[in-house]
Structure 1
């Protein structure tokens, strides 16, 4: 009887597969509800092999959050900071596109929801502080405007978690919710 051998996957590729599966799992179930067994099954590796790549469940959760932060940095902050003018409008438009990735939005919410853990609370505090500081550092943006912009972005984060963009056009309330106080209006 011949046995079928699977091709070896590099540790970098395996790490990417695990992070993708963990985003799916943790974004919907959180740190405590998410299952590393499910993540391992999704990646088609053994549970012990998952822990060879990420030594703890919390470490994996943090790695997923850091991946989300990197995505926000690349897709929202960099274009906004590079814009010749209308920095907030550029960032708001980029955030609107990012909202289409519901799992990313849910993961941010899961990060905040997991702040009873001091390590995650410190991570979320640092990311939120950095976010507001970067907005405040934009030309012509004061603290009040930066806070309003962050608050509007958070409102849209909540809208994405409720999947309102998917029902826009068929639900009058969702349309009003998404249209009111559009992020980036100054």
Structure 2
């Protein structure tokens, strides 16, 4: 989520807990900047975003961002790494937090129950503003010798998770990945603005989010949102 500044710009909300009044450590500032970078890169892409905009979103100075990360490229690489870490951590948490007996009571196998939880984890990450879109932007930069290599490693890591940790066969892994990319495309298009007015788009949303649609409609970025 974002909060407006007096000049109309937005900062990305960072939950600093009960000690919000204390001076933040460099690690905490780094976390704050990465939260902002996910939102800004997600909305603007690598070429469109600037370290100045990330700094404003984080509520810090642009020289401070450069001091911590060195360059926009380094910041984007760190943001990709952070997005992938959050994604895989959510998947792994969903994979191990299941009750086989409960799954059988629902009439599905433990494997299908795990797949359902991991799909839900992917949807839940929509709340991390810019996470899905930062990864999508990275996947379009394959020709960049540095960013492209990092993006390919991350994409391959997600595939390996589906194949080796989830135990999906290649066809099921492909289908899982394809649905995730569809959701990322819908986020990037900000096509939620057409929900309710376009019957086909409404149908698409109801198909993709059968049980959590109200929440998804609430957290998805809108066309008018800065990020």
Task: Answer yes or no: same fold by TM over 0.5.
Answer: yes
Shift of 1:151: 0.9
Pairing 1:111–2:152 present: no
Whether the 8 Å contact between 1:99 and 1:157 is mirrored in structure 2 is no
Pairing 1:66–2:81 present: yes
Whether the 8 Å contact between 1:79 and 1:90 is mirrored in structure 2 is yes
Q: 1:137 aligns with which of 164, 172, 180?
A: 164
Q: Deviations over 1:120-151 (max 9, x none)?
A: 11111111111111111256621111111111
* Greater Cα shift, 159-168 or 10-19: 159-168
Q: What is aligned with 1:11?
A: 26
Q: What is aligned with 1:162?
A: 189
The TM-score normalised by the length of structure 2 is: 0.68
Q: Secondary structure at the match of 2:57?
A: helix
Q: What is aligned with 2:61?
A: 46
The TM-score normalised by the length of structure 1 is: 0.81
Q: Secondary structure at the match of 1:28?
A: helix
Q: Secondary structure at the match of 1:99?
A: helix
C-alpha distance in 2, partners of 1:101/1:48?
A: 25
Q: Secondary structure at the match of 2:133?
A: helix
Gaps of 5+ in 1: 1-5
Gaps of 5+ in 2: 1-20, 101-109, 211-227
Shift of 1:93: 1.6
Shift of 1:81: 4.9
Q: What is aligned with 1:3?
A: none
C-alpha distance in 2, partners of 1:14/1:96?
A: 27
C-alpha distance in 2, partners of 1:37/1:174?
A: 36
Q: Using a 3 Å threshold, how does the CA distance of structure 1 residues 91 and 81 change in structure 2: closer, same or farther?
A: same
Q: 1:33 aligns with which of 43, 48, 62?
A: 48
Whether the 8 Å contact between 1:156 and 1:178 is mirrored in structure 2 is no
Q: Deviations over 1:76-119 (max 9, x none)?
A: 23312554422211111211222344521211111112222122
Q: Deviations over 1:135-183 (max 9, x none)?
A: 1125662111111111111111112222345754554222322344779
C-alpha distance in 1, partners of 2:179/2:157?
A: 17
* Number of equivalent positions: 178
Q: What is aligned with 2:216?
A: none
C-alpha distance in 2, partners of 1:99/1:127?
A: 19
